[in-house]
Amino acid sequence: MSGKGVKHVVNEAKHSFVGAIHGADESAVAVVDAVSDIMVHTLRGANAVGGELITLGAATVTGVVQGVAEVGAAAGDVARSIMVGALRGTREVGTTSVETVSANAAAIVRATEQVGGNVGNAAKGAVEGAIESARDLGMKTEDAASAAASGALKAAGAISLTATDQVRKALVGTISGIRVVIKEPFRHDRA
């Protein structure tokens, strides 16, 4: 998918989210429903498969996080709802995989950093959302949690050492009763 196409998807998702939330309550249920609807609309309207579909989904999540910031909410505080909605919408259109979970968690962390939010809270929320969605996705909760944590940590590693430390600290121990295991070592890639 071209950079121009990704930017278009990000902007469209942002504006769709802002439009859906304005005039509605900003409860977790409203966020989940809005994100799910936006994801379904975006993915059904695309002629993409495989990696392109995962990239399109991540771009949609990025736009939603930007929309969350625009309506004045803290992206880290609604990351769980964003993840649940994104995975629910993706499942409605097709199948979700550990790669989908990982890419969406990474998008949440990257976009949260871009809007000046707390990446640790965003990572934890993404993992909580993956755990909450696991059964509906046909995944073991541990696998969903691990995929989300790995994606979040990978994104943080591309941001900075500070972001990596914040995410690591947020993901230590158990989250929503699940011991989170990060399967791959990630390092800070930027100077």
Closest CA to 179 of 130, 138, 145: 145
**Intra-chain end-to-end CA distance of the chain, in Å:** 27
Number of folded domains in the chain?
Answer: 1
Residue recorded with tokens 């790669």: 99
> Is the residue at 190 inside a domain?
no
> Which pLDDT does position 190 carry in this prediction?
44
> Which pLDDT does position 162 carry in this prediction?
96
Q: Where in the sequence is the domain holding 40, given as residue range(s)?
A: 3-179
> Is the residue at 103 inside a domain?
yes
> Which pLDDT does position 191 carry in this prediction?
38
> Which pLDDT does position 20 carry in this prediction?
81
> Is the residue at 185 inside a domain?
no
> Which pLDDT does position 188 carry in this prediction?
45
pTM for this structure? 0.88
Half-sphere exposure of 82 (CA within 13 A, CB side): 40
The one-digit pLDDT tens for each residue of the chain (191 residues) are 555 477 888 888 888 888 887 666 667 788 899 999 999 999 987 776 778 889 999 999 999 999 998 888 777 789 999 999 999 999 998 878 999 999 999 999 999 999 999 999 999 999 999 999 999 999 999 999 999 999 999 999 999 999 999 999 999 888 988 888 776 554 444 43
